[in-house]
Amino acid sequence: MSDTSGQTPMNTFTPGGHHRHRKVRMTGSAVRRAVVLAMAVPVASAALAGTSAFAADRDTATTVPDTTGGPEAQDRGVGAGHEQLVKNLDARVLDQRLGADVSGVVLDADSDTALWGHNATTAMMPASNAKLATSTAALTVMGPNHRFTTKVVYGHGTLTLVGGGDRTLSSEDLAELTKTAVAGLKAAGLSSVKVAVDDSLFAAPSLANGWNEGYYPTEVAPVRALVVDGHSVEDTSLDAGKVFAQQLADAGVAIEGDVTRATAHHRDVPVARHRSAPLSEIVKTMLKTSDNNIAETLLRMTAVESGRPATFEGGIEAVRHVLGHRYGVSLENFEMYDGSGLSRADRIPAATLAQILELLTEHRNSHTLGSILEGLPVAGEAGATLGPEWGRFDDPNSECAVGKVRAKTGTLTGAIALSGLTRTDEGEWRVFSFIENGSTAAPNDIKDAMDGLAATVNGCYA
């Protein structure tokens, strides 16, 4: 989002990696933001009482851009050239597979115009589209080159494994720490040791408001600062300590007693440390596979690095500050309770998600946020959440968009979302966000309809 006046030239980074120079019209993206928010009646949805129970009397009134190409439409930046797009979206957003509670918006990233909207500012359960907010805040606060550190320290006959928020720590990484620790013990003439874990970096609680009991530990583990191999267990810290202890034992060190939880003392002697891959690479992995555990760890570490309590609330406070104060993204009807989007209490309008994605098209954000763009799954890309193994973009209406759409998926019972970017055959970059809540259709059918909307935005599904 730009706070640059309309008289100031601005460089825009296009998702294809090209750099183009354009002049922001009027007040730049501030105008677009106002237009987007005017395109739909702001309605906050009621909190879910069950899997997909919504207030029956929710207002679903919608205001969309004039499609006649007349003066009013031109004032909104919607010219005659987009009439067919608007007409198609108006019809296809009413697809019965999507149900009655649908929100959507389409922005032209090159001309500062909002092309289409349907309940764009209505509060919706975003599912994993919330990860767009989490990753934006994490990269902005910590920087794309930030690395997470896991340490081993020694004191009073105990080796303590200290968690530093690295959700990608592997048993191979731990083996390197073990090798160094064993060498240190032998040099000191020690053949036995106690083992403890320190995960005090993150504060309680470890479970978020709005998580169903069935979510953990399989969909998401209780959030702790230490884990190895991404194990889906209730206590990832003690689990990591046991792996560490076993590696020590295999190297000939006698382990005294059970692995315990402790807080490392500042006088403990540093023994070994491991640094993770850069945050940019971790964000790419998180988005490609929609990894809930990485997202929750990033939320906590964003809180830590911004000087806030390492809690869900501290992380969300940091997210709100980054989005609202750093980038000027609208937080109207915005409610987050976790970093992954698993919380059934989360509410994010499509307009807000589109504004977050719009940041990726601005040159000044390319260094900080570029890994979000690179991490967005590509339609038809195997190994990511828009891949053929998930049945995405294989419908006759949407298969034309394979390779042309980058988007974040979101799927919960009662909520499916798709927000991303695409480039038309004419070279126009468009940003979109679509969210449905409460549809009773089969999830695969809903996703086919969503993919069709994305293909419509691209223009290949004309």
Beta carbons of 97 and 445 less than 8 angstroms apart? yes
CATH class for the domain made up of 149-276 = alpha beta
State the Cα–Cα distance between residues 392 and 384, nearest whole angstrom. Answer: 10
The reply to whether 9-144+282-458 and 149-276 are identical in fold is no
Beta carbons of 166 and 142 less than 8 angstroms apart? no
State the Cα–Cα distance between residues 418 and 432, nearest whole angstrom. Answer: 8
Higher pLDDT, 25 or 373: 373
Beta carbons of 355 and 178 less than 8 angstroms apart? no
Pairing of strands 19-23, 101-108: unpaired
Q: What ranges do the domains of the chain cover?
A: 9-144+282-458, 149-276
pLDDT of residue 427: 82
Judged against a pLDDT cut of 90, whether residue 47 lies above it is answered with no
335-353 mean pLDDT: 98
Quick one: tokens of 314?
């501290």
Give the residue from 118, 116, 120 showing the smallest Cα distance to 459: 116
State the Cα–Cα distance between residues 7 and 24, nearest whole angstrom. Answer: 7
Going from the C-alpha of 338 to that of each of 128, 369, 406, the distances in angstroms are: 10, 21, 24
**Three-class secondary structure assignment of 169-228:** CCHHHHHHHHHHHHHHHHHCCCCEEEEEEECCCCCCCCCCCCCCHHHCCCCCCCCCCCCC
State the Cα–Cα distance between residues 245 and 261, nearest whole angstrom. Answer: 13
CATH class for the domain made up of 9-144+282-458 = alpha beta
Confidence of residue 78 (pLDDT cuts 50, 70, 90): low
Higher pLDDT, 462 or 250: 250
Phi, psi (deg, nearest 5) at residue 83: -60, -45
Quick one: tokens of 415?
């909520």
Phi, psi (deg, nearest 5) at residue 128: -70, -5
pLDDT of residue 182: 97
Higher pLDDT, 199 or 14: 199
- Torsion of the alpha carbons at 273, 314, 434 and 437, rounded to the nearest 10: 120
pLDDT of residue 42: 36
Strand order across the beta sheet in which 429-437 lies? 113-118, 101-108, 429-437, 415-423, 405-412
Percent pLDDT > 70 in the chain is 82
Say how many residues make up the chain.
462
pLDDT in tens, 282-338: 999 999 999 999 999 999 999 999 999 999 999 999 999 999 999 999 999 999 999
Amino acid at site 46:
A
Beta carbons of 149 and 155 less than 8 angstroms apart? no
Amino acid at site 268:
D
